[in-house]
Amino acid sequence: MKDEYITFGEDTPNDKLCEKIDSWVKTSQTYHDYLVAHQNKMVRYYEGNQTDRDQVAPHNSDSVYNRMFEAIETIIPIITGGAHAFVAMPALENEISMARSQRVQKVLNQKYEDLEIRRKLENISRDMMLKRYGVLEYGWDIDTDDVGVWVRDPRTILIPKYRVDPHDLPYVIKLAEFDEDDLLRYFPDLSEDDKQNLQKGVNIQVGDGTSEADSEMYQVMVVYTDEFWV
């Protein structure tokens, strides 16, 4: 199928949206599944299960010298010690502009603390070392009615299979889990017939394969492009 260009927007037909997103999922899923296997292995090593520790007999010691954990937790404070912060610069070189920028800077500093940016940067730095990349999402938090920043598990993110600039991705697909309340909250116009067509349970594996999918949760794909998100 020819990869035709579609301008995403409120007037884009649903069938065109679904057709394009389905093609993106097919392109991304093989790479995602391959990468998840390696990500889960790294997480197990980080947690100390480096040699099937859970299979060690009770009368034997299951202690391991976890060099990976030690190395990562040693370097994380070094990486985030000089983390970027919000900076407000005066627009003009006069006292009024400088005083205004100082007031804005105080607000930004407080927002930096309220959003726990430093802790979240530590988490995505850890993800970069364990899972090969980290994901920090920002947007409007409807619960607080304010700016929000969230750390996303890279295993729940689908990206293009072929090599592209991470700052210029044509799309990003986030795998989210919605319960009945979430569906009503985000899709108030969803009819009962449409809801019956939705499939419960996780369709794309993002865990380590040892836990069963929650049969009461819907897996929803949130797709972001430079133009729109659906």
- Candidate from 22-26, 45-49, 119-123, 129-133 with smallest mean pLDDT: 45-49
More confident of the two residues 91 and 64: 91
Above 90 in pLDDT, residue 91? no
The per-residue pLDDT for 208 is 55
Please state whether the predicted TM-score (pTM) of the whole model is above 0.85: no
Section 150-166 average pLDDT: 85
Indicate the number of domains in the chain: 1
CA distance 40 to 96: 54
Above 90 in pLDDT, residue 125? yes
| Model confidence pLDDT, tens digit, residues 4-46 | 556 666 777 778 888 888 888 988 888 888 889 899 889 988 8
Alpha helices in the chain (DSSP H): 14-46, 67-80, 95-114, 117-131, 180-186, 192-197
The pair of structure tokens assigned to 16 is: 């065109």
Residue with token string 């700016």: 147
> What is the CB neighbour count within 10 angstroms for residue 104?
15
Above 50 in pLDDT, residue 1? no
In a domain, 31, yes or no: yes
Above 90 in pLDDT, residue 202? no
Q: Dihedral, CA atoms, 201, 206, 212, 217, nearest 10 degrees? A: -30
| Model confidence pLDDT, tens digit, residues 214-225 | 667 888 888 888
Section 146-170 average pLDDT: 85
Ranked by mean pLDDT, the top range of 7-21, 73-87, 137-151 is 137-151
pLDDT tier at 174 (50, 70, 90 boundaries)? very high
Paired sense of beta strands 157-158 and 172-178, if any = antiparallel
In a domain, 9, yes or no: no
In a domain, 63, yes or no: yes
Diameter over CA atoms, the chain: 75
Query: What is the span of the domain harbouring residue 49?
Result: 14-224
> How many CA atoms lie within 13 Å of 206's alpha carbon, on the beta-carbon side?
18
Beta bridge partners of 223: 173
In a domain, 5, yes or no: no
In a domain, 3, yes or no: no
pLDDT tier at 49 (50, 70, 90 boundaries)? confident
In a domain, 215, yes or no: yes
Q: What is the mean pLDDT of the chain?
A: 82
The per-residue pLDDT for 16 is 82
pLDDT tier at 148 (50, 70, 90 boundaries)? very high
In a domain, 230, yes or no: no
In a domain, 155, yes or no: yes
Nearest to 28 by CA among 164, 138, 127: 164
Residues 6 or more apart whose Cβ sits within 8 Å of residue 218: 177, 178, 179, 182, 183, 198, 199, 200
